[in-house]
Amino acid sequence: MDVQTLTYLFVGGSFALYIGIAIWSRAASTRDFYVAGAHVHPVANGMATAADWMSAASFISMAGIIAFLGYDGSVYLMGWTGGYVLLALLLAPYLRKFGEYTVPDFIGRRYYSHTARVVAVISLVVVSFTYVAGQMRGVGIVFSQFLGVEITWGVVIGMGVVFMYAVLGGMKGITYTQVAQYCVLIFAYLVPAIFISLMITGIPVPQIGLGAEVADGSGLSVLEKLDRTLVELGFAPYTEGSKATIDVFAITLALMVGTAGLPHVIVRFFTVPNVADARKSAGYALIFIALLYTTAPAVGAFARLNFIDTVHDEAYGEVAPWFKSWENVGLIGWLDKNEDGVIQYAPGAPFEGLPRFEAERGPLGERQVANPPTDGANEVYVDRDIMVLANPEIANLPGWVVALVAAGGVAAALSTAAGLLLVISASVSHDLIKNTFARNLTDRQELRYARIAAALAIGVAGYLGINPPGFVAEVVAFAFGLAAASLFPAIVLGIFSLRMNMQGAVAGMLAGLGFTFGYIVFFKFVAPELNNAEHWWLGISPEGIGAVGAAVNFAVAALVCRFTPAVPDEVAELVEGIRVPRASSGPGKPRA
């Protein structure tokens, strides 16, 4: 069977599985729809959280980003895992004890105010929609790459599948499809990684292979060889960074705090039976995530090494076939500047902008690039995403592995999209409709609104996926900064401070959100020409500013709280209550 047929088979088979699960796990009540009845086993929830969390970006792009950033790529590795420690220690058990359905629910109740609830809903919707548009786009790209389907149709098919299990099954449907999606995506990630590690170092464990000697008799370790090769070509060494330490620090912190503040991740911890399970579940989630996140830097380093070995100083006529097949897709471009028929790879862009290809091929059969060349010696344009997507071909793996990677990419994108759509619909039906406008809805009516909201959210997400506003790619990374600066501090203060009041929390959220949003918009849209280390405040890039935004939020909240009325007694009791897994059976209080 050819690769195309296999890919249809794998992707189609995985879709059938997800839809089957959706029919089996139909939601019967709002409790099912919002929190899967709070019956999910902590290990299953760990897997679901991992799939929820690991998006198309983690699966397809991260290893490639690390391959080209080297040490600087560590911000993503630490940032997107370290947040789980914060979640486990500071948020998950307490929010589970609180026991309601959404993040704005907690903020609204803890800060006894509709204003606080609505501010939280707005933060949640902004954060989640910027994020979900990127996922739908990811589904479309995987479809077009592997199945030769138009991006638009790819997005429509993806929407259809998510519609089936999110609208029917709600959180219950999403949870069990995410468990299946995790299995698909991790298997699809590890198989090629193991083979690449074997090919380059002879060691099947990529995490160990990354530190091992290259199996080419040079006696150098992978990282030594990579450092040496890159320096010879004029790049900075792989294991040393070029970002300023303060910026690396700020970005890592913003990503960690942002991770812990992302509503679709937090909500997963509402689905386990009790507080002890919420703690455990965060640990399992991190194990499942770490399987991919500790493999990614190895994949990145192997891919970079292999890329240079294959491409640099190689005559175009003799280059490996995968180079040409990705050139055909348009993700690799070669401009033979010195007209020697040999590919030269060096720092800097080979030509200006993304490659635009002529209709006619060049004398060697290469696709001719129409862009104006730059002065640098580099002749190769390469899209970072191919580092993962091309792995199976690079390692000469059979067609079914390529098909598996396609199914894995789709699983990663769909699982994250579904999780995001659910928190959006839950906050609309539960927080806006039920708790703000129409307080006397019955459970069945609320469930119907939840389904309608989910369907509408899917429609909007699909529209954004098909017609991405130019800024989507730019903005996705900033969803973290916004979550870090708005929701995280309000939740943590709500648990760890008995005195934090409504005025403080609302002022803090608005200040944090406003500051972060303003900084990002200024450097990204108002004055993009100033977007460099020289003009950044304290040398902190817009990516890392969420860390400062969170600090602004905490500081403003503390200050405003001092000059405004104390919290009502029943709220103080609520906080006392969520701090313990079960009320103590002290004197006069027999155990229930």
Partner 1 sequence: MAHHDNGKAYWRANLKLGAVLLSIWFIVSFGFGILLVEPLNRIQFFGFKLGFWWAQQGSIYVFIVLIFVYVAAMRRLDRKYDVHEDED
> Which contiguous run of DSSP H or E holds residue 360?
strand 357-361
Residue from 78, 118, 183, 198 touching partner 1 (CB under 8 A): that is: 78
The answer to the question of residue 297 lying near partner 1 (CB under 8 A) is: yes
- Full DSSP string of 461-495: HHHHHHS--TTHHHHHHHHHHHHHHHHHHHHHHHH
Residue from 52, 213, 383, 543 touching partner 1 (CB under 8 A): that is: 213
Q: How far is the CB of 532 from partner 1 (least distance, A)?
A: 21
For residues 37 to 66, the per-residue mask of contacts with partner 1, x marking binding by CB under 8 A and - elsewhere, is: -----------------------------x
Q: How far is the CB of 582 from partner 1 (least distance, A)?
A: 5
The CA angle 539-259-283, to the nearest 5 degrees, is 130
Number of alpha carbons in the 13 Å side-chain half-sphere of residue 238? 26
Q: Is 334 helix (H, G, I), strand (E, B) or coil?
A: strand
- Of 321, 347, 322, 343, the C-alpha closest to 334 is 343
Residue from 147, 223, 266, 423 touching partner 1 (CB under 8 A): that is: 223
The answer to the question of residue 91 lying near partner 1 (CB under 8 A) is: no
Q: How far is the CB of 134 from partner 1 (least distance, A)?
A: 24
Rank residues 97 and 109 by Cβ distance to partner 1 and give the closer one.
97
Q: How far apart are CA 394 and CA 426, in angstroms?
A: 44
Stretch that binds partner 1, among 11-19, 233-241, 318-326, 433-441 (CB under 8 A): 233-241
Residue from 36, 38, 47, 248 touching partner 1 (CB under 8 A): that is: 248
Cβ–Cβ under 8 Å, residues 119 and 491? no
The answer to the question of residue 320 lying near partner 1 (CB under 8 A) is: no
DSSP 564: S
Quickly list H helices, 40-150.
Answer: 42-53, 56, 62-69, 74-86, 92-98, 103-110, 114-147
* Widest CA span in the chain: 92
- Of 505, 499, 504, 507, the C-alpha closest to 571 is 499
Can you give the C-alpha Rg of the chain in angstroms? Answer: 25
Rank residues 356 and 582 by Cβ distance to partner 1 and give the closer one.
582
Q: How far is the CB of 490 from partner 1 (least distance, A)?
A: 19
- Of 334, 299, 263, 109, the C-alpha closest to 191 is 299
Residue 548 burial (10 A CB sphere; 0-12, 13-18, 19+): buried
Rank residues 164 and 495 by Cβ distance to partner 1 and give the closer one.
495
Q: How far is the CB of 282 from partner 1 (least distance, A)?
A: 6
The answer to the question of residue 286 lying near partner 1 (CB under 8 A) is: yes
Q: How far apart are CA 245 and CA 247, in angstroms?
A: 5
Q: How far is the CB of 516 from partner 1 (least distance, A)?
A: 20
Rank residues 74 and 144 by Cβ distance to partner 1 and give the closer one.
74
Residue from 90, 205, 215, 236 touching partner 1 (CB under 8 A): that is: 90
Rank residues 166 and 256 by Cβ distance to partner 1 and give the closer one.
256
- Please name the residues in contact with 120: beta carbons below 8 A apart, sequence gap of 6 or more: 103, 104, 107, 108, 431, 486, 487, 490, 509
Residue from 20, 283, 373, 376 touching partner 1 (CB under 8 A): that is: 283
The answer to the question of residue 217 lying near partner 1 (CB under 8 A) is: no
Q: How far apart are CA 280 and CA 481, in angstroms?
A: 27
The answer to the question of residue 366 lying near partner 1 (CB under 8 A) is: no
Q: How far is the CB of 576 from partner 1 (least distance, A)?
A: 7
Residue from 239, 242, 396, 467 touching partner 1 (CB under 8 A): that is: 239
Per this entry, what is the length of the chain? 592
Stretch that binds partner 1, among 133-141, 145-153, 280-288, 350-358 (CB under 8 A): 280-288
Q: How far is the CB of 1 from partner 1 (least distance, A)?
A: 38
For residues 549 to 578, the per-residue mask of contacts with partner 1, x marking binding by CB under 8 A and - elsewhere, is: ---------------------------x--
Q: How far is the CB of 513 from partner 1 (least distance, A)?
A: 25
Stretch that binds partner 1, among 132-140, 211-219, 329-337, 359-367 (CB under 8 A): 211-219
Pairing of strands 357-361, 367-369: antiparallel
Encoded amino acid at 303, one letter:
A
Q: How far is the CB of 581 from partner 1 (least distance, A)?
A: 5
Q: How far apart are CA 67 and CA 383, in angstroms?
A: 11
Distances (CA, A) of 148 to 55, 140, 324, 363: 22, 10, 17, 27
Q: How far apart are CA 515 and CA 552, in angstroms?
A: 8
Distances (CA, A) of 489 to 86, 131, 251, 496, 544: 12, 20, 17, 10, 16
The answer to the question of residue 28 lying near partner 1 (CB under 8 A) is: no
Residue 217 falls in which region: left (phi positive, over 0), alpha (psi -120 to 50) or beta: left
Residue from 207, 310, 368, 436 touching partner 1 (CB under 8 A): that is: 207
Cβ–Cβ under 8 Å, residues 75 and 398? no
Stretch that binds partner 1, among 77-85, 181-189, 335-343, 514-522 (CB under 8 A): 77-85
Q: How many residues bind partner 1 (CB under 8 A)?
A: 57
Q: Which residues bind partner 1 (CB under 8 A)?
A: 66, 71, 73-74, 77-78, 81-82, 84-85, 88-90, 93, 207-208, 210-213, 221-224, 239-241, 245, 248-249, 252-253, 256, 274-276, 279-280, 282-283, 286-287, 290, 293-294, 297, 576, 579-587, 589
